[in-house]
Amino acid sequence: MAVHIRLARAGTKKTPFYRVVVTDQRSPRGGRFIDRVGTFDPLRPELRLDMAKVEHWIKRGALPSATVEQLLKQQKIAAQTAAA
């Protein structure tokens, strides 16, 4: 079973809202998931992640999608600048 970290759409028409989920690769975009690790609101570029869960799943072999990988990079950069 290939496990991925990807976005699942949860918003209404013209107001997208995404959940960052850990899911089986074969599941549909808005379908079944294993664990919810965060949310992303593109209208107000706001990303909330439980980094402990994300790191746990990556250590267990979960692969982030291209979009989630970009969001993770942005999150880590933002965390580093806030700490400085």
- In 3D space, the residue among 26, 25, 45, 24 whose CA is nearest the CA of residue 34 turns out to be 24
Q: What is the pLDDT of residue 27?
A: 74
For domain 3-83, the CATH class is alpha beta
Kindly report, residue by residue over 27-75, the tens digit of the pLDDT: 777 777 888 999 999 998 888 988 888 888 888 888 888 899 898 888 7
Note whether 49 and 43 are within 8 A (CB). no
Tokens of 47: 């990303």
Q: What is the pLDDT of residue 81?
A: 47
Note whether 9 and 22 are within 8 A (CB). no
CA 65, CA 51: separation in Å to the nearest integer?
A: 16
Helices (H), 1-84: 51-59, 66-83
